[in-house]
Amino acid sequence: MKIAVVAAFYTHKNSGMLTVDMSVIGFIRRHFPEAELTLYSFGKADLSAYDSGSLGYRHVSLQENFQDLREADRILYWGDFLHNIRYWEEALIPRALQHGISGSEQEARDLVYRLHSLEHEDAALLEKTVSFGTTIYNIGPKDLQNPRYVAALERIVGKSRACGFRDPISASHGSAFQPESRCLGIDGAFLLHDDDLAICPGYMPTSTKNHIGIFFGRTQRFDALMLFSHMIGHRLKMPLAWVPWLETRSRQRVAGMIGVRSAGSDSLPGSVFSYLRTCKFIITDTYHLTINAWRMGIPAICIGSSENKPSAMLNDKKKDILYQMIGANPFYVELGSITNMLRAKSRADRMAATISDTALADGVRGHIQRHRKRCEDMLVTALG
């Protein structure tokens, strides 16, 4: 049995998206051990941010090997924004032009529609196609008035073998095209098992948990984020340690200057996941870091801002949706509530109590397990 997986392409090192990849590799190995698995992504494979030696696996170019994908027994679109028109227009079409894949914007758009929604392909191909863990939560009325994009959703959601979006807003959009089927999945990184990380060179599992791990990527007001983290660390009498989830060395240096421990600047996957395991708690603004922490059983405070535009590709709404979906609302912090010193102190008091409440954390872990079991069963059926 040949299974073709279409996944995201990395233009920058991204530990979170790696765990999405590794989760599907591990899932296929566990449930379909005899299957021949190939990972495809849209772009020039040799321009990926990672080399295969640091990962233990590699992607091949989707546009160069589309015929091989068509001949697979199952096609699985896995994670990220793979069916999202905003992603197509803002990332994939520009990438096709930058990589020299297409000679014009329209040519690039035609190619993306073919590769990511199977435009012009016959019903037999769609009948062996599954989509899981993708998101279209940020599409809007203009997108839904685009007849070509609506036809793409009708194909990939309504005519494929199965479709499970990673969040309830996307599932609600999808249910308009597949009303008789459940469209809710979960982010693929939740399906990762600890054993799957063994493919990362240098991964060393540990049971030692002696600090609060912190990482802040794109959110502004770094000063407020760091002060809030120090307040929680002080209340819990635990040191802070920087988790090098993404390459943000300037922030890591600043954190080190004010007493935050460092794991060094090594952002290779094996080192990052090993270090994450040493954290008792996590405080972060980063979506996939919260997922991987909770999956490992580590309670994670997530900081987000409601001031982001919901339609933007990189916005904080997805974090708010995630925490509501997994029942982790008490662990979610609005950035605006910690930019004032007095409010930050009050919020830190509450969050220090929340994150050390084992019953609350157990409730979240249990709900995640229910989602995982449901989605694994759905996928096994769909791919079988």
Q: For the chain, what is the domain count?
A: 2
pLDDT at residue number 52: 59
Please check whether residues 212 and 190 belong to one and the same domain: no
Domain boundary residue, one of 196, 220, 253: 196
C-beta contacts of 61-67 below 8 A and 24+ residues apart: 62/6, 62/115, 63/96, 63/101, 63/111, 63/115, 65/38, 65/40, 66/114, 66/115
Sheet containing strand 59-61, edge to edge, reads: 59-61, 36-41, 2-6, 74-78, 129-132, 162-164
- Give whole-number Cα distances, 382 to 3, 95, 240, in Å: 12, 31, 43
pLDDT at residue number 11: 73
Q: Is residue 213 part of a domain?
A: yes
pLDDT at residue number 220: 87
pLDDT at residue number 58: 86
Please check whether residues 18 and 73 belong to one and the same domain: yes
Q: Is residue 376 part of a domain?
A: no
Q: Is residue 379 part of a domain?
A: no
Please check whether residues 258 and 140 belong to one and the same domain: no
Please check whether residues 253 and 328 belong to one and the same domain: yes
Q: Is residue 378 part of a domain?
A: no
Question: Looking at residue 231, which CATH number applies to its domain?
Answer: 3.40.50.2000
Please check whether residues 207 and 90 belong to one and the same domain: no
Q: Is residue 108 part of a domain?
A: yes
Regions of the chain where pLDDT drops below 70: 47, 49, 51-54, 179-180, 263-267, 308-314
Q: Could you tell me which residues come within 8 angstroms of residue 233 by beta carbon, excluding any fewer than 6 positions away?
A: 212, 239, 240
pLDDT at residue number 312: 60
What is the number of helices (H) and of strands (E) in the chain?
16, 12
Q: Could you tell me which residues come within 8 angstroms of residue 242 by beta carbon, excluding any fewer than 6 positions away?
A: 213, 214, 215, 252, 255, 256, 260, 261, 262, 263
What spatial distance separates the first Cα and last Cα of the chain, rounded to whole Å? 10
Please check whether residues 163 and 274 belong to one and the same domain: no
Q: Residue-wise over 124-144: b if at least 16 C-beta within 10 A, else e?
A: ebbebbbbbbbbbbbbeeebe
Domain boundary residue, one of 157, 180, 196: 196
pLDDT at residue number 266: 63
The predicted-structure confidence for 1-12, as pLDDT tens digits, reads as follows 999 999 998 777
Please check whether residues 161 and 284 belong to one and the same domain: no
Q: Is residue 94 part of a domain?
A: yes
pLDDT at residue number 264: 62
With tokens 């229910």, the residue in question is 370
Q: Is residue 380 part of a domain?
A: no
The predicted-structure confidence for 220-242, as pLDDT tens digits, reads as follows 899 999 999 999 999 999 999 99
Range of the domain at 74: 2-196
pLDDT at residue number 51: 66
Please check whether residues 112 and 227 belong to one and the same domain: no
Please check whether residues 225 and 344 belong to one and the same domain: yes
Please check whether residues 53 and 167 belong to one and the same domain: yes
Q: Is residue 377 part of a domain?
A: no
Half-sphere exposure of residue 134: CA atoms within 13 angstroms, side-chain side = 29
Question: Looking at residue 190, which CATH number applies to its domain?
Answer: 3.40.50
- Give whole-number Cα distances, 162 to 29, 194, 330, in Å: 20, 27, 33
